[in-house]
Structure 1
Amino acid sequence: MATANHSPSTETLAQRAKQELREYALLSVYLFVCFGALILYKTAILGDEGISYLPSGLAAIKALILAKFIMLGHMIRLGDRRRSRVVYVIAYKALLYLILLLVLSVVEEVIVGLVHGRTSAASLAEFGGDKLRQTLATSLIMLLILIPYLASRELNVALGEGRLWTLVFEHRPAQATESKGVKP
């Protein structure tokens, strides 16, 4: 991945590692905020039903794992060969990344099951059986979380590396209507 100031050929390994670590950290924070909000919502709903629920650390662990899975998708350039209108590329990549996350989440569940002494078949049956509705709902939410993230990446590429973040964070002068005393 090239940074705003370096081409891929002149970028050192240390620069690439720093850039990827920064992106991983930002993605992890984004996912943590999203998952944390969902867990608070679930806690509130279950609390109204008299059920105590507050998994400590679940949002952070899930954010770190899924961020790594997404970074793996970036590394293998998942969906990068598709060139079309930006909206179609975003939708296509969101579906591909969702599939990647689902597959890797199934693998993760099997590994966790094996660690806890369950067979792979038992872990898969549990994942697909009782949890199917929950998995479908979670998948839809994950798709909605992926779309803004992937949209920001695609818009950054379309505008020129780094330009989106400059537009988002640069200071804009007051508009002409504000200087004339007219409020929008």
Structure 2
Amino acid sequence: MAVANNNPSTETIAQRAKNELREYALLSLYLFVCFGALVLYKAAILGEEGISYLPSGLAAIKALILAKFIMLGQMIRLGDRRGGGRIAYVIAYKALLYLILLLVLSVIEEVVVGLIHGRSVAAALAEFGGAKLPQTLATSLIMLLILIPYLASRELNVALGEGRLWTLLLERRDGPRSADLAAAARESGPTNPSDHPYQ
């Protein structure tokens, strides 16, 4: 006979795992849409030149890998130890840190793949500093543009209160609750500007 587990710590861990899994799925979906659009754009450009290009599953695999890297950054609380500051600066600072993290982990991934295929570490690293350098810089800029909206939504959610951002976004603009939610956000926020965590 199964015995119900009433251990609160187990329930907390299970709930946390469920929330992290949901966030990972949503982040992977967001990245998949971004990368999928880029793949289709590249395929359209190459198609005009008579080159067939549509890598099956590339966007999905890249989204799953980078989402895991970003979740790792959240796990180590990347950028959270800097302290307060204006929210725009916090978003920009975190975006740069996460971009550096993704680049470092991507390089490590390439080195490991190279070693598996019999290439030396120097040969794998040379690709990033040689012919692949323009592509690496362009990819980095695109990743930065992808990271900013995601991190901005997280920081705004923290500033407004957990879950309030999505409640406001999903409300009708002229709905009766919109004004109530906006008023509640103003009332629950710090009355003194110097008390704001992002000031």
TM-score interval w.r.t. the shorter chain? 0.7 to 0.9
Q: Which residues in structure 2 correspond to 1:34-183 (within 5 Å)?
A: 34-82=34-82, 83-173=84-174
Distance 1:174 1:70, change over 3 A: closer
Q: TM-score, normalised by structure 2?
A: 0.80
1:56 to partner: Cα distance: 0.6
1:172 to partner: Cα distance: 4.5
1:169 to partner: Cα distance: 1.2
For the residue of structure 1 that corresponds to 2:119, the secondary structure is coil
Alignment partners' CA distance in 1, 2:166 and 2:11: 20
The structure in which a higher percent of residues are helix is: 2
Task: Tell me the equivalent position of 1:22.
Answer: 22
Distance 1:126 1:164, change over 3 A: same
Counterpart of 2:115 in structure 1: which amino acid? L
Write out per-residue CA displacement over residues 34-80 of structure 1, whole angstroms, 9 at most, x where no aligned residue: 00000000001111111111111110000000000000000000001
1:26 to partner: Cα distance: 0.2
Aligned length: 167
1:31 to partner: Cα distance: 0.1
Give the % identical residues.
85
CA contact (8 A) 1:109 1:127 kept: no
For structure 2, the residue ranges without an aligned partner over 5 or more in a row are: 1-8, 177-199
Counterpart of 1:100 in structure 2: which amino acid? L
Greater CA deviation, 92-101 or 44-53?
Answer: 44-53
RMSD: 1.6
Greater CA deviation, 137-146 or 81-90?
Answer: 81-90
Task: Tell me the equivalent position of 1:5.
Answer: none
Larger Rg: 2
For structure 1, the residue ranges without an aligned partner over 5 or more in a row are: 1-8, 176-184
Write out per-residue CA displacement over residues 137-158 of structure 1, whole angstroms, 9 at most, x where no aligned residue: 0000000000000000000000
Distance 1:174 1:167, change over 3 A: closer
